[in-house]
Chains A and B, each alone.
Chain A
Amino acid sequence: MADPMRIRAQAAGDKTTVRVLMAHEMESGQRKDSAGKTIPAWHISEVSASLNGKVVMTAEWGPSVSKNPFLQFTIKGAKAGDKVAVNWTDNKGDKRTDEATVS
């Protein structure tokens, strides 16, 4: 539904650094539109990452995370060719999954 995430996973020794850039408005629920009505909160609420199908990281985000969120984390023991998938769910129930291969 939304634009694809950009995922980069680079292995250095036995650690793989994964950088993800997600496309999402991340409305905090604090802004008001021109008519003075508060724009409702719309943000990614859960993120999970899996390595070759096994979940290795989960996160919960609040409205403070910036628009088009950036996330960086490190996986131990992944190697080139492994598949890293990142999945997010927002507070309206929309979700998106994208995958990248460790290089």
Chain B
Amino acid sequence: MIANRRELLKGGAMVASLMLAAGVLGPAAHAAGAAAGKGAFDAKSLADLVKALGYGTPAESKDVSITAPDIAENGAVVPLGVATTLGNVKQVMLLVEKNPSVLAALFNVSPEIDANFSTRVKMGQSSNVFAVAVTEDNKVFFAQKEVKVTLGGCGG
């Protein structure tokens, strides 16, 4: 039974990646990307997310690094960076565990760019943040860091 599910997810992922190649790399004719179409942005945890995208089980790795402040003074703008020294990385993602929308951003890596991105995200509360790298063979590696958010609501 498990083998069947895996085949199903693998098949789904192949179709979706064809869609990705056809859709996202074109002039963006639609408003939802391929991962969004697979429900990636509705996933409530890293495990749900990799299942939705048809990837393997995530493994913590020292080859993925996450740059984040220990304490974020403004939860509306928290700078996050993800980088990896792994080879054959096709996708890199940033997740905020306690956000209503766990997947914050997903980056598709091409040979012309480094698998190294920075952006700023909103964090509703202190939470673990994950930087995830997915290799060409759908293996998932991640690093995590706890970021405390001081919203300053109760007078700091």
Contacts and interface: CB of A to CB of B under 8 A. Distances in A.
Given A46-B24, A90-B31, A91-B31, A64 B107 contact: no
Contacts of B109: 57
A46 B28 contact: yes
B135 interface: no
Contacts of A64: 96, 99, 101, 103-105, 121-123
A93 B33 CA distance: 12
A62 B108 contact: no
Contact of A45 (B32, B78, B121, B124): B32
B113 interface: yes
A70 B114 contact: no
A72 B83 CA distance: 12
16 contacts: A30-B100, A45-B33, A54-B112, A58-B33, A58-B107, A60-B40, A62-B103, A62-B104, A62-B105, A64-B103, A66-B122, A70-B79, A72-B117, A75-B113, A77-B112, A91-B31
A57 B118 contact: no
